[in-house]
Amino acid sequence: MQNLLHRFLGYARSDTRSDESSRSTPSTNSQMLFASSLADELRKTGLEEVTLDSNGYLMATLPANIPDSGPVMGLIAHMDTSPDAPSANINPIVHHNYDGNDIILNRDRDIRLSPKEFSELAAYKGQTIITSDGLTLLGADDKAGIAEIITAMELLLSDPSLKHGKVRIAFTPDEEIGRGADHFDVAAFGADYAYTVDGGGIGELEYENFNAAAATVTVSGRSVHPGTAKNTMINSIMVAREFDKLLPADERPEKTSGYQGFYHLYDIRGEVEDTVMKYIIRDHDPEKFSQRKQLVEDAAATVEREHKGAVVRVRMKDQYFNMKEIIEANWYIIEEAVEAYRKAGIEPLIKPVRGGTDGARLSFMGLPCPNIFTGGHNYHGRFEYIPLHSMEKAVEVIVNLCLSATKRKN
């Protein structure tokens, strides 16, 4: 465990944000550079069969130390960080023995992480907490997962008395832009099942996730001189505003929780002539998911009818689907996780993912893959933080999973 903090801090300082506008894989060269450094570290740690392909997928093997060890378990985390928040020049700060009050992230700008705004922070009084300096995200999503997996492998390799089967690990690019499984070679990975280490607070265990789609809505209008615009100008910005009003205002991320789905307008750019809006559409229920997508199409048609001359185009793309049905057909994976949690003194908090992981798509590619916690909170923003104790418990759970997998034979 003594290497865990040092390892995470080093990873966090690497800017590995993905780029949705890039068509390459990985979408940024910084991810490939990070993957290359991780490959060297994995070899030095003692892992075998370390491979890094041209798309930035890094895989390795912890060999079994017992004969006839049964099914092969996999562990997966992603290397990229969100492109939606500043992530250059990350400066992680370690706060020892948290006193329960506001944590000063940046004194010059008076940026504070406060339990008044983030109530769960109070539960970590007395612990060591890692944050950024308030100017960037921290990158625990998912550098924490990588650090926890490698630390667990290091512990297993250092103690031959810990008997385990073969374990495969993979670190993937571009998860944050929905492409993390695009070029994942399930056959080459060679695991019977896996866990993504990509969850939130301590104890979370997730095997349900949103069905997800992305929609780009382009509104084309007509630009003329404003002095002679009467009955001729079609202001695409105003038409776009009318389109957004047709989507339920109480079904946005900031107003939903649990199993409630949403429409999220996360980017809008426009001028009088053309406006482009980008949405993500989410719902756990497949029927409601289809209805949400249809509502977007219907809204476009309605706006076109009401604004003669305007053209509203919708480009919709499914991103991933709810893995619940796949995991329920392989329920032993959850049973093993629950046992591993409880051996670490943690009562599992089984909850739906209000998002997605590589595991959602991988489950439909033949690799059942629920999600376990890393310990982080407030991902994708400057108030992101992670308690060190939660990271240590994640390592303990991973080790327990590796040990418990030997009990079940093919």
- What is the CATH number for 205? 3.40.630.10
On whether both 309 and 328 belong to a single domain, the answer is no
On whether both 263 and 384 belong to a single domain, the answer is no
At 82, is the secondary structure helix, strand, or coil?
A: coil
Whether the link from the prior residue into 142 is cis, omega within 30° of 0, is yes
On whether both 308 and 383 belong to a single domain, the answer is no
| Angstrom distance (rounded) from CA 288 to CA 248 | 14
Sorted by sequence, the CB contacts under 8 Å of residue 373 that are 6+ apart come out as 197, 199, 200, 201, 202, 203, 204, 205, 390, 394, 397
The CATH number of residue 281's host domain is 3.30.70.360
C-alpha torsion sign, points 329, 335, 336, 340 = positive
Among 277, 298, 320, the domain-final residue is: 320
On whether both 307 and 336 belong to a single domain, the answer is no
Tell me whether residue 194 is exposed, middle or buried, using C-beta atoms within 10 angstroms of its C-beta: 0 to 12, 13 to 18, 19 or more.
buried
CA 42 to chain centre: 23
| Angstrom distance (rounded) from CA 134 to CA 86 | 10
Could you tell me the residue range of the domain that residue 307 belongs to? 211-320
Q: How far is CA 406 from CA 69, 160, 167, in A?
A: 5, 15, 10
At 219, is the secondary structure helix, strand, or coil?
A: strand
Closest CA relative to residue 117, chosen from 386, 383, 389: 383
On whether both 193 and 247 belong to a single domain, the answer is no
Closest CA relative to residue 149, chosen from 3, 17, 15: 3
Which residue in 80, 148, 176, 192 is the catalytic one? 80
Tell me whether residue 11 is exposed, middle or buried, using C-beta atoms within 10 angstroms of its C-beta: 0 to 12, 13 to 18, 19 or more.
buried
Count of alpha carbons within 13 Å of 75, Cβ hemisphere only?
A: 30
Whether the link from the prior residue into 352 is cis, omega within 30° of 0, is no
| Structure token digits, residue 386 | 């992670």
Among 293, 320, 347, the domain-final residue is: 320
Q: Is 174 a catalytic residue?
A: no
pLDDT along the chain (410 residues), means of 10: 94 95 96 98 98 98 89 97 91 97 96 96 98 97 98 97 96 94 97 96 95 96 94 96 97 95 97 97 96 98 96 95 94 96 97 83 96 96 97 98 70
Strand partners, 169: 60, 75
Among 276, 294, 320, the domain-final residue is: 320
Predicted confidence at residue 68, as pLDDT, reads 77
What is the number of domains present in the chain?
A: 2
Phi/psi at 240 (5° precision): -60, -40
| Angstrom distance (rounded) from CA 237 to CA 234 | 9
Strand partners, 268: 277
On whether both 169 and 253 belong to a single domain, the answer is no
Phi/psi at 304 (5° precision): -60, -40
Task: Report yes or no: 7 and 150 within 8 Å, Cβ to Cβ.
Answer: yes
On whether both 40 and 166 belong to a single domain, the answer is yes
| Structure token digits, residue 29 | 């060269």
On whether both 58 and 182 belong to a single domain, the answer is yes
Q: Is 80 a catalytic residue?
A: yes
C-alpha torsion sign, points 170, 173, 178, 181 = negative
On whether both 46 and 142 belong to a single domain, the answer is yes
Tell me whether residue 351 is exposed, middle or buried, using C-beta atoms within 10 angstroms of its C-beta: 0 to 12, 13 to 18, 19 or more.
middle
On whether both 176 and 225 belong to a single domain, the answer is no
Strand partners, 106: 111
Which residue in 142, 148, 174, 175 is the catalytic one? 175
On whether both 93 and 46 belong to a single domain, the answer is yes
The helix/strand count (H/E) of the chain reads as 10, 17
On whether both 22 and 162 belong to a single domain, the answer is yes
At 168, is the secondary structure helix, strand, or coil?
A: strand
Strand partners, 78: 172
CA 247 to chain centre: 26
E-strand ranges in 207-305 read 211-220, 262-270, 274-283
| Angstrom distance (rounded) from CA 327 to CA 195 | 11
